[in-house]
Amino acid sequence: MPRRALLMSIRPNYAAQIFDGTKTVELRRVRPRLTSGDLVLVYASSPVKALLGAFEVSRVIAAAPSKLWKRTGRKARTTREQFDDYFNGAALGYGIVLKRTWLLTKPMGLAKLRERHSSFRPPQSYHYLTDKQAKRIGLLRVLGNGSSNGHRNGVNNGKLDRRGQRRATRT
């Protein structure tokens, strides 16, 4: 099990980009206590409302927004205008660099998460999971039943549309 597990709410379009391999940096205004090797469970916010998978943290970049943009802009899959709006008034910004991803074979919806852990509440931004919470949610299932190619910024064989919904693929 990773040293630390974090449950993070991410908009469905950005979650889809994480799992299709095009978004390799997640931006935050508040620095989460994450280090290399920690695990972030990705909860796609409304309208999807489901745990989609996870990613391993490579590192966290802390920088003034102007410098953060230069280092991460394209990798974060956002426009300069969206970036500036998000970091407006912030002295520092943070970029969580993804190492590899795991996509659940079947997303775990909010109702299923609450079946496993009755007091489950999706975070507004993120929250840390205790070992007990991680076991109830099925953290090991994310690692064991998801798909990953194990490479840096791993792209898995599951496909999501921009809303985070699974889309049909041809074989």
pLDDT score recorded for residue 2? 53
pLDDT score recorded for residue 149? 40
pLDDT in tens, 115-147: 887 888 887 788 777 777 777 766 665 555 445
Q: Is the pTM of this model over 0.85?
A: no
Tell me the mean pLDDT in the region 59-71: 97
pLDDT in tens, 11-28: 999 999 999 999 999 999
Retrieve residue 96's tokens.
Answer: 């969580």
- What whole-number distance in Å separates Cα of residue 42 and Cα of residue 168? 21
Per the prediction, the chain carries an average pLDDT of: 82
Task: Determine which of 58-62, 137-141, 145-149, 167-171 has the lowest per-residue pLDDT on average.
Answer: 167-171
Retrieve residue 98's tokens.
Answer: 């993804």
5-147 — its CATH code?
A: 2.30.130.30
- What whole-number distance in Å separates Cα of residue 76 and Cα of residue 96? 9
- What whole-number distance in Å separates Cα of residue 57 and Cα of residue 75? 15
pLDDT score recorded for residue 151? 35
**pLDDT grade, residue 91 (50/70/90)?**
very high
- What whole-number distance in Å separates Cα of residue 40 and Cα of residue 123? 13
- Whether the pLDDT of residue 93 is over 90: the answer is yes
- What whole-number distance in Å separates Cα of residue 52 and Cα of residue 156? 12
